Chain A
Amino acid sequence: MYDGGKILVGIVIFVLFAAFPFYNNIGKVSAKPEPKLDTPVIQQLSEKKCVEPKDFMRAEHMQLLNNWRDFAIREGKRVYINSEGKEFKISLQNTCMNCHSNKKEFCDKCHNYAAVKPYCWTCHIEPKEKQL
């Protein structure tokens, strides 16, 4: 075998490079996020329910928001009737964030943990954090 040394060095460099995401995160692993739901608006709800059941919202809220924005902007349909037949105004800024005014404690906690950076907030104005 010729150039065995060079190949070995190459492999080491490659492995270091390919494994960068792993060792870069060592020690940074934070605790499982626990989003907070206590905002003044949510506290006042008689029934503390989102527009759809919790499990669905947890897994599919991005899909729902995507549909909401398409229906609102592209079809001019700004009312959502949920699986229970209840009506909601379609608006991230004025409907979702009205309840979830604790964006840092609610949205950001999981988004940071999952390292996703939704760009909703470059345009939609996030609510001013209200103190309980």
Chain B
Amino acid sequence: MSMDRREFLKIAGFSTIGIGVGWILSRPGEFLEASQFLQTKELLKAKQWAMVVDMRRFKTEEDYRKVIDACHKIHNVPDFGNPKDEIKWIWADTFEHAFPGQENEFMPESMKHKPFILLCNHCENPPCVRVCPTKATFKRKDGITMQDLHRCIGCRYCMAACPFGARSFNYRDPRPAIKEPNPEYPTRMIGVVEKCTFCEERLAKGQIPACVEASNGALTFGDIADPNSEVRRLLNTNYTIRRKAELGTRPVVYYILDIPTSVVSGGESNA
């Protein structure tokens, strides 16, 4: 059978339409379109989640340990037992390291050597989000700097961009280093970056973050956009500082300092 060009094009055109229609008819997802996705009813909502760390309430080693353990246990954070491979979501470090440039020779000894509880600051202007090439790190509407580990390619740009050391890279398979895995939460795999997520999986169930729950009031979590929230009450009635505020990332983790009462009353008597 011979065919001129015009006829060929006609047939070719109809076949293309045919393939297209066939594709639409056989297209997956007719159920997915019929279905819907919703938030959980229990979800705790906020405009901007924030945390206040009351350093006056951290006295014994136990106070630190229970807060850190609460997080690391439920989130299957591995413990390799060496600082080189360390993975941390919430940890403790000295004033000098937490607030560089703010330390001075004559600050109270108690503060100089007191470990501060540190975690991702869920910055309002997070550089980690800006640099992530895959959008694995992104900002949620409620202010949580979230990380989609399904997308993380382990390029570590976010680690370089975060000025707070809040992110850890999995140099090794974390599974063998998790003593009691929590079967309800995933682990991570080698080659991805991880950090604190403000317990978004717990917020979805109507629960406050695990570290806050375990802290006996030393940590307070709430909506900083709500003037009646507990975090706002604490910020209104205490002097607080934030880590490296001068960098403009706008951290939402605030610290109430532990100033020895003798210093405070001494000040008052001279006033």
Contacts and interface: CB of A to CB of B under 8 A. Distances in A.
Interface of A: 52-53, 56, 59-60, 63-64, 67, 69, 71, 73-83, 87, 89-90, 93-94, 119, 122-125, 127-128
Contact of B28 (A59, A87, A122, A128): A59
B35 A83 contact: yes
B148 A74 contact: yes
B134 to A, nearest CB: 12
A119 B32 CA distance: 23
Interface string B165-187: 00000000000000001011111
A73 B146 contact: yes
Interface of B: 28-29, 31-32, 34-41, 43, 76, 138, 140-142, 146, 148-150, 181, 183-189, 200, 204
Contacts of B28: 59-60, 63
Contacts of B38: 77, 79, 81, 87
22 contacts: A53-B31, A59-B28, A60-B31, A67-B37, A74-B148, A76-B43, A76-B200, A78-B40, A79-B39, A80-B37, A81-B38, A83-B31, A83-B34, A83-B35, A87-B38, A93-B184, A93-B185, A93-B186, A124-B186, A125-B185, A125-B186, A127-B183
A73 B150 contact: yes
Contacts of A63: 28-29, 32
B182 to A, nearest CB: 8
